[in-house]
Amino acid sequence: MTATGFETHDHSACISTALAAAETCCTEHRLQFTKVRRRVLEILLHEHRALGAYDILAVLAGEGLGAQPPVAYRALEFLVSNGFAHKIEKLNAYIACSLPGQDHSPVFMICRSCQTVVEAQTVLPAGQLAQVARDAGFDIERAVIEAEGTCPACRNSKDAASDAPGTKA
């Protein structure tokens, strides 16, 4: 059990569910869910945080699945372009999608303190961003929305720490 959303959950179940979903989706769309691609998705799912391409590459290399950058980048590119993973631009890192299969425009909340990344959804054609774009005559195709801040758990422990002066942050 580790955290997603910002709550705890059954982690191994969420990994196998996501993996199965990806498998199904690839079959449906005639995509090849190869060994490396599958393994990279597994690695991402195993953490609920963003991993750098070279972190992933290190794991792959340790398993004899390829040691050169393109191996990792190609798998990541496949996963990202088919919606099984996302890139967090702010971190130059990658994370498994928490709602694979459906076409969506994700928004991420990145905790500055524990590095946990949580994915949520917005409706792109609604909201201020869309209004601004409409006003400018700009046609939005994709949007990167990444919020940096403090997650509930870290905020609480920070509050607790400041309640106890003498405990250094």
Partner DNA sequence: ATCTGTAATGTAATACTATATCAACCCGCA
Partner DNA sequence: TGCGGGTTGATATAGTATTACATTACAGAT
By CB under 8 A, which span of 13-21, 32-40, 50-58, 119-127 interacts with a second copy? 119-127
Q: Should residue 65 be labelled a site residue for DNA when binding is judged by CB under 7 A?
A: yes
Nearest to 107 by CA among 99, 119, 115, 97: 119
Amino acid in the structure at residue 166 = G
Structure tokens at 4: 């997603």
To a second copy, the closest distance from the beta carbon of 28 in angstroms equals 27
Answer whether 140's CB lies under 8 Å from 129's CB. Answer: yes
Q: Should residue 127 be labelled a site residue for DNA when binding is judged by CB under 7 A?
A: no
Q: Should residue 148 be labelled a site residue for a second copy when binding is judged by CB under 8 A?
A: yes
Structure tokens at 18: 């996501």
For residue 98, the SS3 value is coil
To DNA, the closest distance from the beta carbon of 67 in angstroms equals 6
To DNA, the closest distance from the beta carbon of 71 in angstroms equals 5
Nearest to 101 by CA among 88, 82, 87, 86: 82
Q: Should residue 66 be labelled a site residue for DNA when binding is judged by CB under 7 A?
A: yes
Binding mask 1-40 for a second copy (x = CB under 8 A): ----xx----------------------------------
Q: Using CA atoms, how far apart are residues 59 and 55, in angstroms rounded to an integer? A: 7
Q: Using CA atoms, how far apart are residues 55 and 72, in angstroms rounded to an integer? A: 9
Structure tokens at 115: 């590095």
* Number of Cβ atoms within 10 Å of the Cβ of 40: 29
Tell me whether residue 61 or residue 130 sits nearer to a second copy (CB atom). Answer: 130
157 binds, among DNA, a second copy, none (CB under 5 to 8 A by kind): none
Tell me whether residue 43 or residue 111 sits nearer to a second copy (CB atom). Answer: 111
58 binds, among DNA, a second copy, none (CB under 5 to 8 A by kind): none
Q: How many residues contact a second copy, by CB under 8 A? A: 36
Q: Should residue 69 be labelled a site residue for DNA when binding is judged by CB under 7 A?
A: yes
